[in-house]
Amino acid sequence: MANAVESHDYDIIIVGAGPAGLTAALYAGRSMLNAVVLEAKIPGGQLLNTELVEDYPGFKSILGGDLAKAMLEQATSFGAEIVSTTVNRVRVEPDGTKVAETADAEYRAPAVIITAGGNPRKLGVPGEDEFAGRGVSYCAVCDGAFFKGAELAVIGGGDAAVEEAAFLTRYASRVTLIHRRSEFRTQPVLLAELRANPKVDIITDTVVESITGNGKVSQIQLLNTVSGKKSALDVGGVFIFAGFVPNAQLLDRHVDHDAAGYYKADPLTLMTSVPGVFAAGDVRVQLTRQITTAVGDATTATMAAGKWVEEWRRSHGSDEVAAP
């Protein structure tokens, strides 16, 4: 016989405790909705991988960790319940109830807001997995200090690659940014700052073919995609910022998404193609993924989810919100 799992009822389940999840928790609490935030790691999301935040209004500059802590404190001060657990699946029952399944419990609610963000995209080249944690990293804030005086390569052409390349110059003797095209996706101001940094070289139209070393990374092999010329670069570490893969596979059914897997959501309510399932922050299709867009999304999604819960309870014959 299968072991019985605990079952908990809420108005709203929030999956993920990054800036979007914590904002959703804040707005749910202020709306007197009984919400639970389910987070597999430490609350804060990508803020915890960010040294300095300089584009969040109200703070000229704030440590990512400090902003995460402040968001968490504010959310919990309005009653947010944060549970440290991994959601394996969200299923939708025939009556529309959403059930977030974890190893030892089920969380049930009429509405769920997915704020699960994403994971770093891998390059998929030989040596990347072999040297993960031994010279290959996806987080400059976490690992940069291990590379004092080293020559480093940073891969990517978006905001993360450019910002983190600049950050790594604090530790590295030299940072080479390698991008596969000649046009960058990053904000021009960030690229201009990086170009002016005397410790940085920028190589474009170039891909990493492999990462090699003996026990730890010592070299990367490169291919210029325009000239076809191959070369090698001696480095002590490779930091990869090739974008994100959204955590958008949790639902037990099809949810409309774009080619890269990001959830599509109604622009007015941020409800996905599954009624009562909302998406906010980096997990959904949008032009850019900023802290500000994540918190804006979460505000919209939570207000819309609150209305959804009201309607749902009316149509299911109960005006009561779930008991905590």
Stretch of 132-140, 194-202, 226-234, 238-246 lying at the interface with ligand NAP (CB under 6 A) = 238-246
Q: Does the protein bind ligand NAP through residue 288 (CB under 6 A)?
A: yes
Shortest reach from residue 190's CB to ligand NAP, in Å: 7
Establish if 159 lies at the interface with ligand NAP (CB under 6 A).
Answer: yes
In this chain, which residue has its C-beta nearest to ligand NAP?
158
11: which residues sit within 8 A by CB, 6+ positions away? 28, 33, 34, 35, 109, 110, 111, 306, 309, 321, 322
Query: Which one-letter amino acid corresponds to residue 1?
Result: M
Q: Is 290 in the site for ligand NAP (CB under 6 A)?
A: yes
Contact flag: residue 39 with ligand NAP (CB under 6 A): no
- Closest approach of ligand NAP to the CB of residue 286, in Å: 8
Beta bridge partners of 120: 244
Q: Which is nearer to ligand NAP, 248 or 305 (CB)?
A: 248
- Minimum distance of ligand NAP from residue 1's CB (angstroms): 46
- String of contacts with ligand NAP for each residue 108-127, x by CB under 6 A: -------------x-x----
Give the type of residue at 167: F
Q: Which stretch binds ligand NAP (CB under 6 A): 15-23, 73-81, 103-111, 152-160?
A: 152-160
Cβ-based nearer residue to ligand NAP, 32 or 142? 142
Classify strands 237-240 and 62-63 as parallel, antiparallel or unpaired. unpaired
**Is residue 220 a contact residue for ligand NAP (CB under 6 A)?**
no
Residues annotated as part of the active site? 139, 142-143
Identify residues 43-62 at the interface with ligand NAP (CB under 6 A).
55
The smaller minimum CB distance to ligand NAP, of residues 161 and 271, is found at 161
**Which of 268, 269, 298 is closest to 283 using CA atoms?**
298
d(CA 317, CA 143): 54
Residues of the shown chain interacting with ligand NAP in the complex, contacts defined by CB under 6 A: 55, 121, 123, 155-161, 163, 179-181, 185, 207, 241-244, 288-290
